[in-house]
Structure 1
Amino acid sequence: MKSILTIAVLLLSFTACAASFDCTKAKAADEKAICTTPSLNDKDVEMTTTYHLLRGLFAMGVQGDMQDAQQAWLKNRRQCGGDITCLNHAYNSRLQQLNAMYDSINKPL
């Protein structure tokens, strides 16, 4: 059975029709590739939604660590340039990290 986080992410990603940033302002090769590749666009929305949902579940110290990790990930993603395979790998890796973080939360049910 899928976790509630996964279900929420899927529902939110269906309603999103653009990447997590303004594609009309995309200048970097990675951003342009994300905006023109629907599967990457979907992963970007899923990753951003998951990240923001998780941030709300933790105290400020962990939120700061999450923000630092997200900034480091964005820097690494930028190194992919327009390489779709590299970008897919980057998103898959980050989504695995975020899902593992969610799975580690002690849930009452």
Structure 2
Amino acid sequence: MKLSSLIVLTILGLSAAAPAEAASFNCAKAVAPDEVAICSNPELSERDTEMAALWFAYNKVPMMMGANAARRDGATDFLKLRAACGSDTACLGRVYEARITALRAEISLAMDALAGQQ
């Protein structure tokens, strides 16, 4: 099975199996304003699940060492932006949309790079 097919199946499987709560953290332990807002808002919770599935897939794509650091930095930056939104659901929605768009683009670029190596 091609790596791109495996990633798509992984994303679909995580999305279908995800509970009706955030996927990237435990809602039962949510105390930060951004986490509480995400857990109490079905749309944001769904976006979190989508983002987590994309992150899982993106994190499985082999990359050179410098790219791995950039990947971690992107995740850290996202968490800082999300926290800065606090309980502002409109802000959280924008931050998630930007992160999901970025992850999709990064996965596409990484897959293109891997395909070029084969």
The unaligned stretches of length 5 or more in structure 2 are none
Ranges of 4+ aligned residues in structure 1 off by more than 2 Å: 3-11
For 2:82, the equivalent position in structure 1 comes to 77
Match of 2:52 in 1: 48
Structure-2-length-normalised TM-score: 0.79
TM-score, normalised relative to structure 1:
0.85
Residue in structure 2 matched with residue 99 of structure 1 by the alignment: 104
**Partner secondary structure for residue 21 of structure 1:** coil
Q: How many residues align?
A: 106
Deviation at 1:10, TM superposition (A): 3.6
Note if 1:16 corresponds to 2:21.
no
Q: 1:63 aligns with which of 59, 68, 83?
A: 68
Give the corresponding residue for 1:35.
39
Question: Which stretch shifts more, 84-93 or 6-15?
Answer: 6-15
Show structure 1 runs of 5+ residues with no match. none
Secondary structure of the residue that 1:79 maps to in structure 2? helix
Cα root mean square deviation, aligned: 1.9
Of Structure 1 and Structure 2, which has the larger fraction of its residues in helix? 2
Deviates more, 1:6-15 or 1:25-34: 6-15
